[in-house]
Amino acid sequence: MRWLLSCLFLVTSVSCSKVLELTKDDFHSELKSIPVALVKFYAPWCGHCKNLAPEFASAAEIISGKTGDVKLVKVDCTAHESICSEFGVSGYPTLKIFRNGDLDSEYNGPRNADGIVNFMMSRAGPASKEVSTVSDVENFLSDDKPTVFAFIKSSSDPLMKIFMALAKSMVDDAVFCHSHNNLFVTPDDYELRVYLPKRLRTKFEDDFALYKGELESSNIKEWIRKHGQGLVGYRTPSNSFYFENVDLVVLYNNQSVDSYPSGIKYLRNRVFKTLKDNPNKFKNLVFAYSFSDDFSYELSEYGIEADKLPAVVIQSKGKKYKLEQFR
């Protein structure tokens, strides 16, 4: 209602911004009615805030055409200092995500319009989608992210709470779905699967892994990290979760999985063959392929020129080693 009235009064404007501006007087009451809100705490004099403003406004416009459950909000901290202090704002712009008026998390996503849209749309709705059939699961599988599926007998099962909290915390790292139907006819009271991204499927390994550990969030999360990218993952700047704090072997080349999938498949298959021929020798290593353009700063650090690709680097215990020959 507040936004509509503002638009009606601004009859001389070419268009009305879809960014909702709140004050110390209506911040809490207005946010309670918004399922998911991205709030920008800003100062009018701030240069970074001025740069962000058109991207933020454009994102708000796009999102308004997609869903009514996600809103972009701004608060002027020079005029409403008490609200900004309440949420620990110490620099500008600061962006935070709220759900029905409650602080959910810091916003650590992109700051361009398309990036904001994609990031916030992924927060709309439940963290895990309920599915009813095996076909639903197959149709839900992500092309570029691992997909985690859970069979949980009922919504009141304690595992359901664990699973939903995990799905919420890993929204950037995987997609989640669940069913209260025993779709894969397991004899157990539950089943957890993690499926490889569809673009990484290969004859050299299974499409999914089954969880057999204790029903604790940290254990399940570590299992997803270990199996979500398979034996040879596709490492990008946005999926670093799968490749952190491990002994990592990275194959760099100047082809991306989108531009030349057959070439990536060929190089990954070469690594697969080495792993299959030497299963014990490499069992404690994590292998990944990376597009050189995504990690130009790393290649510069290693002293690897474009004409020296493909190249292999080993990262272990804080040290990095460049393989002198790879052909």
- Cβ contact 154:180 at 8 Å: yes
Render the burial of 89-99: b for 16+ CB within 10 Å, e for the rest.
beebbbbbbbe
Region 282-309: mean pLDDT is 91
Of residues 4 and 59, which shows the higher confidence score? 59
Cβ-Cβ contacts under 8 Å for 132 (sequence gap 6 or more): 179, 181
pLDDT computed for residue 258 by the predictor? 86
pLDDT computed for residue 325 by the predictor? 66
pLDDT 10s digits, 232-244: 999 998 898 999 8
In angstroms, the first-to-last Cα distance of the chain is 65
pTM across the whole model: 0.76
Q: For the domain made up of 2-121, give the CATH fold.
A: Glutaredoxin (3.40.30)
How far apart CA 25 and CA 29 sit, in angstroms, is 8
pLDDT computed for residue 14 by the predictor? 36
pLDDT computed for residue 167 by the predictor? 94
How far apart CA 199 and CA 188 sit, in angstroms, is 30
Region 141-160: mean pLDDT is 95
How far apart CA 224 and CA 146 sit, in angstroms, is 8
Comparing CA positions, the residue from 225, 58, 34 lying closest to residue 123 is: 34
* Cross-strand pairs, 313: 250, 322
For 232-322, CATH number out of 3.10.20.30, 1.10.150.80, 3.40.30.10, 1.10.150.120 equals 3.40.30.10
- Using the predicted structure, report yes or no on whether residue 3 has a pLDDT greater than 70: no
Report the CATH architecture of 130-227.
3-Layer(aba) Sandwich (3.40)
Distance between alpha carbon 10 and the CA centroid of its chain, in Å?
38
Residue 326 pLDDT grade (very low, low, confident, very high; cuts 50, 70, 90): low
How far apart CA 298 and CA 98 sit, in angstroms, is 35
pLDDT computed for residue 16 by the predictor? 63
- Sign of the Cα torsion 202, 207, 210, 211 reads positive
pLDDT computed for residue 5 by the predictor? 46
Output the average pLDDT for the chain: 90
| In the block, residue with structure tokens 């996600």 | 70
Q: Where in the chain is the domain with CATH 3.40.30.10?
A: 2-121, 130-227, 232-322
- Percent of all residues in the chain with a pLDDT value above 90, rounded to a whole number: 67
Other beta carbons less than 10 A from residue 34's beta carbon: 20
Q: What is the DSSP string of 37-72?
A: EEEEEE-TT-HHHHHHHHHHHHHHHHHHTT-SSEEE
Region 249-269: mean pLDDT is 88
pLDDT 10s digits, 87-113: 999 999 999 999 999 998 899 889 999
pLDDT 10s digits, 114-125: 999 988 988 887
Region 179-206: mean pLDDT is 94
pLDDT computed for residue 318 by the predictor? 81
pLDDT computed for residue 126 by the predictor? 84
Structure tokens at 222: 């570590």
Residue 72 pLDDT grade (very low, low, confident, very high; cuts 50, 70, 90): very high
**How many CA atoms does the CB half-sphere of 88 hold within 13 Å?**
4
Strand order in the sheet with 248-253: 232-235, 286-291, 248-253, 311-316, 319-322
pLDDT computed for residue 312 by the predictor? 93
Residue 4 pLDDT grade (very low, low, confident, very high; cuts 50, 70, 90): very low
pLDDT 10s digits, 17-63: 899 999 999 999 999 999 999 999 999 999 999 999 999 999 999 99
